[in-house]
Amino acid sequence: MEEASGEVTRLLQAWSGGDRAVENQLFGLVQPDLHRLARRLMSSERQDHSLQATALLNEAYVRLVSARERDWENRRHFFAVAARAMRHLLVDHARARPKGGKVALDGVEHQLGGPDANLELGLAIDGLLEEMEQKHPDWVTIIEMKFFAGFTDDETAETLGIPLRSMQRRFGEARKWLFERMEPRRTS
């Protein structure tokens, strides 16, 4: 596993340096993991979703190819960016749906039982993540890595180059920030 991770990192660096010849080899190595990530993301979507994991992977691939000049740190950094791209694709897809739209945060927990609950909740959370990114971009990265890419605490801390306890503290602060904004506002 460590050897494959090192090979992916080497190929990412060559690719971002302009070596287009390594692109097929790189995506051949990461494709199974990207497909697992896409399936994992799609598993939390509604059953009748019109987008399939393979289509999500293909659209994310197009976005990743357009970002090839990015300064890729390592394999985990690549997957964090891939998870973000897939999340944005799912949100864009949801917004394009006729029933999709912004959801007021007041009373969002009462909407969880409806057929479009995941869609509505996903749009609400995406809006909150965009808001969070303005003040705390590091929190958004942690949430994306943990929830969308499926990284463990250790992997997230290692990828970000911060101590585990610091990452866990920031993650706790991010969760608190999200829960406070999703909680119904009560007037006294």
Mean pLDDT in consecutive groups of 10 residues from the start of the chain, 188 residues: 72 86 88 84 69 83 80 81 83 66 45 49 77 89 79 84 92 90 54
Q: What is the DSSP letter of 97?
A: S
Instruction: Look at residues 59, 74, 96 and tell me which one is the last residue of a structural domain.
Output: 96
Number of domains in the chain: 2
Regarding whether 45 and 124 lie in a shared domain, the answer is: no
Regarding whether 44 and 25 lie in a shared domain, the answer is: yes
Regarding whether 169 and 140 lie in a shared domain, the answer is: yes
Instruction: Look at residues 96, 123, 148 and tell me which one is the last residue of a structural domain.
Output: 96
Regarding whether 116 and 54 lie in a shared domain, the answer is: no
CA distance 24 to 15: 10
**For residue 142, what are the contacts with CB-CB under 8 A and spacing of at least 6?**
156, 160, 167, 170, 171, 174
Helix%, strand%, coil% for the chain, nearest 5: 75, 0, 25
Regarding whether 74 and 31 lie in a shared domain, the answer is: yes
Regarding whether 84 and 23 lie in a shared domain, the answer is: yes
Regarding whether 156 and 82 lie in a shared domain, the answer is: no
Regarding whether 174 and 153 lie in a shared domain, the answer is: yes
The CATH number covering residue 151 comes to 1.10.10
Instruction: Look at residues 26, 61, 96 and tell me which one is the last residue of a structural domain.
Output: 96
How long, in residues, is the chain? 188
Per-residue confidence (pLDDT) for residue 87, from 0 to 100: 81
Regarding whether 79 and 117 lie in a shared domain, the answer is: no
Regarding whether 14 and 85 lie in a shared domain, the answer is: yes
Regarding whether 115 and 71 lie in a shared domain, the answer is: no
The CATH number covering residue 27 comes to 1.10.1740
Regarding whether 70 and 118 lie in a shared domain, the answer is: no
> Can you give the residue range of the structural domain that contains 12?
1-96
Total Cβ atoms within 10 A of residue 143 = 22
CA distance 50 to 110: 25
Per-residue confidence (pLDDT) for residue 46, from 0 to 100: 67
Per-residue confidence (pLDDT) for residue 116, from 0 to 100: 52
CA distance 80 to 86: 10
Query: For residue 177, what are the CA distances in angstroms to 121, 134, 154?
Result: 16, 13, 22
Q: Please state at what angle helix 164-182 crosses helix 153-160, rounded to 10 degrees.
A: 110
Per-residue confidence (pLDDT) for residue 48, from 0 to 100: 66
Per-residue confidence (pLDDT) for residue 120, from 0 to 100: 64
Per-residue confidence (pLDDT) for residue 104, from 0 to 100: 45
